[in-house]
Amino acid sequence: MTKWFLIAILASLNLVGSRAWGQESPRQPPPTGKPADPSRTQSPGITFGKRAKEEILENPYRFHTTPNILVDAVKGIIHDQEIEIDPEPSRPREGVIVTKPYVFAKGITAVSELQRVSNPPAEEAHNWDSARYSLDIRITLAEANLTLVSVTALIEGRAQGVSSSKWFKAESKGVFENDFLIALRNKVEIK
Query: Residue 4: what pLDDT?
Result: 56
Q: ω into residue 29 within 30 of 0, thus cis?
A: no
The answer to whether residue 174 sits within a structural domain is yes
- In-domain check, residue 45: no
Digit-coded pLDDT (tens) for 70-110: 999 999 999 999 999 999 999 999 999 999 999 999 988 98
pLDDT of 123 over the 90 cut = no
Give the confidence band of 40 by pLDDT, cuts at 50, 70, 90. very low
69 occurs within a structural domain: yes
Residue 3, CB-side half-sphere exposure with 13 Å CA sphere: 0
pLDDT of 53: 64
Give helix 175-188 / helix 110-117 axis angle, nearest 10°: 70
Contacts of range 122-129, beta carbons closer than 8 Å, 24 or more positions apart? 124/157, 124/159, 124/168, 127/159, 127/160, 127/161, 128/157, 128/158, 128/159, 128/160, 129/158, 129/159, 129/160, 129/165
* Identity of the residue numbered 19: R
Which residue range(s) make up the domain with 174?
A: 58-191
98: phi then psi, degrees, rounded to nearest 5: -120, 135
Percentage of the chain modeled with pLDDT above 70 = 69
Give residue 8's pLDDT.
54
- Look at residue 18 and tell me if it is in a domain: no
Residue 49 forms part of a structural domain: no
Write the CATH number for 67.
3.30.530.50
In a domain, 106, yes or no: yes
Indicate whether 131 belongs to any domain.
Answer: yes
Contact 28, 109 (CB under 8 A): no
Give the count of domains, the chain: 1
